[in-house]
Structure 1
Amino acid sequence: MKAMIFAAGLGTRLRPLTDSCPKALMSINGLPLLELVIRRLERAGVREIIINAHHFADRIVEFVHQRKSSATALHVSDERDLLRDTGGGLKHAAQFFNDNTPFFAHNVDVISDVDLSALYRYHCAQPDALATLCVLDRPSSRKLLFDASGALCGWEHRGRGEQKISRMPADGIWRAFAFSGIHVISPELFMYMPEQPVFSIIDVYLSAASTRRILAYQHDQENWFDIGTSERLAQAAQYVHHEEKPDITGDAASEPDSSEQKC
């Protein structure tokens, strides 16, 4: 099983912390965000991961080279020449997903206890699903809009009063949820990507949703943190302190050296 971790962002909301360190290597209780996400994916059975890198990309490359794991092959999708956004970043790494098998995509700044194995099984049980998106019923100015069957119909920005509608739900009722930054994607999605190099994966979903099923996976009962600010970083630290197991045994990764835990 494969995955992509989106780690190329500038981390502007975490400045000045990210002025000298990529957000992916910001530490929570001695472990980089990137390490925490890798471990979560490993526990779900992922054995090959590609990580896109732009901001302080050399630090991400160094982390990948130094991390010792007998189970998981790590690769870097180098975006130093151009920050491509989520959709463009995924397209840039398309050749990595050449086995015609659904794969995970996971934002590096999302920490959660979403059952990734259950998410993957749910997606695979829906033979017509192009992608399955983790969503939450939480306050957010940006919402994805779904129909009664859980299929994507549109998007809205409540602060700006903006909407992008892919199709109308049969009963005329929107179900609005916030995206959680975790998805399972079928490789067929690459057929729906535009020619330009920079674009959002959400725009691809909205375009494909007019004819294909992009599904919601609601996880309101699980812990979830978007590490967008220093305050949220502190909140996530409390969760990681109680939940993260520092020693990984068997086929999973060994503990990183202390030099890998800090910028």
Structure 2
Amino acid sequence: MSQDSVVAALFESLPPWLLLKGSDPLSLVYLAALVIVLLLSTFIVFSKTRGHKQDTFLLAGLSDAGKTVLYVKLRNGQMVDTHTSMTENEGRFVPISHKHGKSQQRPVHVVDLPGHEKLRFKYTEYLPVTAGIVFVVDSTTILRQLRSAAEYLYDILANRYTQRNEIPILVLCNKNDMLLALKEDKIQTMLEGEIDHLRKTRSAEVQSQDEEKDDEFLGNEGEPFKFEHLPNPISFVSCSLMRDDNDGESGLDAVNAFITEMTR
């Protein structure tokens, strides 16, 4: 809708008494003031929305998966000791790449979400302006944390904003240099199986309670769940965030490439 059409629609909504008494000086003052306010409001709205581009990237995952390590490396290019976050770490900055230094031409908004079970919902506050999500998985503990990780990922995938905006997701399988680490293809298969189970149980719960569901159905009905069935691209990368970035195995290059692709 253009600015002229917005103003025209607003004039049509004016009360008849104000338009009929156009010869009244006081009414003319009110009318002029109202028009000025409406034009200023319209200008502000259009100036804020014109040219706006989604440039927020979320770092999500369970606690101790490595989200904050990734956030600090993207922001400062350094390795630091971290602890479990109870609040978001966020900032607008140019992500750092070990190959090219500051690899982006412009800053992006990066949010490191807390992994605590009671705080994970905070991702919903950012989804409307999200360009991409990096979901970090601990490859050494995924076997015993599969249910929790799958539930978190399911909630993100089934959100209406994720589906309608086709938000891309990079699943970063961290700590691949550890003895008990699982391969990325194994983790993908495990998550697909658990999400398929969740899809069935949650659908049954909604039907038994006769409630209208807010989540989008994931995948193809009548078929086992596969990430490839989703409208938004899902990719898996194996890495070790604690490794030196120069060996190419830390995952920083993959995340930078992901951000670059989503902000072109």
User: TM-score surpassing 0.5?
Assistant: no
Higher alpha-carbon Rg: 2
Please, what TM-score do these two structures have when normalized by structure 1?
0.31
Larger RCO, structures 1/2 (Cα 8 Å, 6+ apart): 1
Please, what TM-score do these two structures have when normalized by structure 2?
0.31
